Structure 1
Amino acid sequence: MAGLFILCSLASAGQAAESVSGTEQPPRVAVLSAFEPEMKKLLAATEAQEHRTVNGVRFTTGMLEGKPVVLVLSGISIVNAAMTTQLLLDRFPVQAIVFSGIAGGIDPELNVGDVTVPARWGNYLEGTFARERPDGTYAPPPWRPASFPNYGMIHPQEVPVRSSAHPEGEMRFWFEVDEKLLTLARKALVDVPLDRCAKPDSCLEEEPRVVIGGNGLTGPVFMDNAAFRTYAFKTFDADALDMESGAVAMVAHANGVPFIAFRSLSDLAGGDEGDNRIFTFMQLAADNSAAVVRAFLRAM
């Protein structure tokens, strides 16, 4: 019953979008990934596919786990992700946005292969790069007060965001995922089987697991720095760090569309004991995220 209630609630949002766009399409769940390896398993499982290309971006509609969906690659990094998400919302009746992909892990308690489902997302490089004082410290200008502890010259801050609920704008750093979708994730993703081995001789040290709740961070850089990883964890109490989810969350918030992201850890964002292992476990992590997303769609 809970899943049915959530789906009916989301369908109402989708019908509103449909009337605005003037299309005859059914309300769909939008499934986004940043680049092809993250989308591969989801696209292969989608039935009755039809394709449409807008501004060079290819949208695929069809049925995935019995649900009408539209799948699209957002492109890597925040500008691509924001642009593609708005392009999607302007052309399809979207009842919810689901992101599936990989991320760097910054919580020391998490391991490569784990799938994180943060409750909120923040863009950690929104802020001020402050000038250095004679004493070697950094301080933002008085009209840009710091929202969080700084990392050298970098002072993360809230930004003004406009939406239908706040046309005058509001200051925000965090963008929450949809509460009903997060509740469904907590109930539906208890026993999803996850891969441990990328190859017979490339296996994870620990059995991967699904971790629901907590914080996620997004920025326009590939993070592979142990010192900044430690700072990000201590400052934001975050589980994972990626290059798209915070931007999609921000666009979803502005448009009033429910959003949730599933991010499997492909590496430890600079915290690996040796070299970064993204190219060893990237596909395994992407496939684990896709498996969790499919289970989530079934539960809807």
Structure 2
Amino acid sequence: MIRQSLAAFLLTTMPLAAQESPRIAVMSAFEPEWISLQADLEGAESQVINGTEFITGKLSGQDVVLFLSGVSMVNAAMTTQLALDRFDIEAIVFSGIAGGVDPSLNIGDVVVAEEWGQWLETVMARAEGDGFALPGFLSSPFPNLGMIFTRETTVASDRGEPETRFWFPADPDLLAVAKEVAAETDLADCNTDDACLSEPPVIRVGGHGVSGSSFLDNAEIRDWLASTFEAQVVDMESAAVAQVAWANQVPFIAFRSLSDLAGGGEGENEMGVFMSLASENSAALVKAFLAAMPSE
């Protein structure tokens, strides 16, 4: 009786990750991707942890847990760490929409960046003469945009001493799978309301993505992100997830489909028209990616 009681106690008190079979975390920022991914989920079981719904099951032959990151860097970091603490996560796959920064990209294209950085980790500097100047005890490795000076982030992990860095990488093995899948996947070019793209969507694997807790709809900042960080895409979550994955030494990759041009278009921001199409394309690519991943 004592042994049975002890076993029951350990099961209820040990971290849930210790009780779980390995899974791939499949995260979405918005409900359209979340709904699309759920449609093909087999054996779905739902649980709510601290207000966030996690749905386990099998998707494209892989054991997964689906959940919404929530919009913003803080929400994304919080839900990612919560999933890592409660489930045995062997990889993190993010599916979402984003704003296009690279002028060669069009709405509907999907970017799978190899590195992510936080462009709004900044100093808002004081005016000095005809420009702006940082305090003497601070520095920035990047050209500023007016008073905005982007800085690196110091992150602690089990690797040793805390490390200061700007870029957080996607996993090279996952990127290799994404390249193979990209060459074989066709994306939709019209949404359910028959609003169609001017150019057939393409998938670009590699390059840089940046994130920050600001919805970007400004052409000047867009151009600065492209020239300063050589960014292809901007969003509000991926760099936060990449940082948490790096700190926990868990493989990470993000698929971001362009719903708008982050202020680079000629008229009203395009997200309201093409969000559904971008979401479906991103989710479709993630399903194909999961199917191509090797199974244990």
Name the SS for the 2:126 alignment partner.
coil
State the Cα distance separating 1:21 from its structure 2 match.
5.0
- 1:174 lines up with 2:167 in the alignment: yes
- Match among 280, 286, 290 for residue 297 of structure 1: 290
Query: RMSD of aligned C-alpha atoms?
Result: 1.3
TM-score by structure 2 length?
A: 0.92
Consecutive unaligned residues of structure 1, counting only runs of 5 or more, are: 1-18
Larger radius of gyration: 2
- 1:65 lines up with 2:60 in the alignment: yes
State the Cα distance separating 1:188 from its structure 2 match.
2.3
Partner of 2:5: none
User: What is the percent sequence identity of the aligned residues?
Assistant: 53
1:149-228 alignment, distance < 5 Å: 149-166=143-160, 168-199=161-192, 201-228=194-221
The answer on whether the counterparts of 2:108 and 2:189 sit within 8 Å (CA) in structure 1 is: yes
Name the SS for the 2:78 alignment partner.
helix
- 1:147 lines up with 2:174 in the alignment: no
Name the SS for the 1:163 alignment partner.
coil
Work out the CA distance in 2 between the residues paired with 1:53 and 1:147.
42
- 1:48 lines up with 2:43 in the alignment: yes
Residues 247 and 22 of structure 1: is their aligned pair in 2 closer, same or farther, counting only changes over 3 Å? closer
Partner of 2:119: 124
1:26-105 alignment, distance < 5 Å: 26-105=21-100
Work out the CA distance in 1 between the residues paired with 2:21 and 2:182.
26
- 1:255 lines up with 2:260 in the alignment: no
Work out the CA distance in 2 between the residues paired with 1:131 and 1:208.
43
Work out the CA distance in 2 between the residues paired with 1:283 and 1:202.
10
Query: Residue by residue, what CA displacement relative to the aligned partner does 1:186-244 show, whole Å, maximum 9, x if unpaired?
Result: 12221212110114641100000110000000000100001110011000001100000
1:98-113 alignment, distance < 5 Å: 98-113=93-108
- 1:281 lines up with 2:270 in the alignment: no
Consecutive unaligned residues of structure 2, counting only runs of 5 or more, are: 1-13
TM-score by structure 1 length?
A: 0.91
State the Cα distance separating 1:273 from its structure 2 match.
1.5
The answer on whether the counterparts of 2:17 and 2:84 sit within 8 Å (CA) in structure 1 is: no
Work out the CA distance in 2 between the residues paired with 1:191 and 1:276.
31
Work out the CA distance in 1 between the residues paired with 2:253 and 2:199.
26
Q: Aligned pair count? A: 280
State the Cα distance separating 1:145 from its structure 2 match.
0.9
Residues 277 and 84 of structure 1: is their aligned pair in 2 closer, same or farther, counting only changes over 3 Å? same
Residues 22 and 272 of structure 1: is their aligned pair in 2 closer, same or farther, counting only changes over 3 Å? closer
State the Cα distance separating 1:137 from its structure 2 match.
0.8
State the Cα distance separating 1:61 from its structure 2 match.
0.2
The answer on whether the counterparts of 2:17 and 2:87 sit within 8 Å (CA) in structure 1 is: no
Residues 257 and 22 of structure 1: is their aligned pair in 2 closer, same or farther, counting only changes over 3 Å? closer
Query: Residue by residue, what CA displacement relative to the aligned partner does 1:230-276 show, whole Å, maximum 9, x if unpaired?
Result: 01100000110000000000000000100000000000000012111
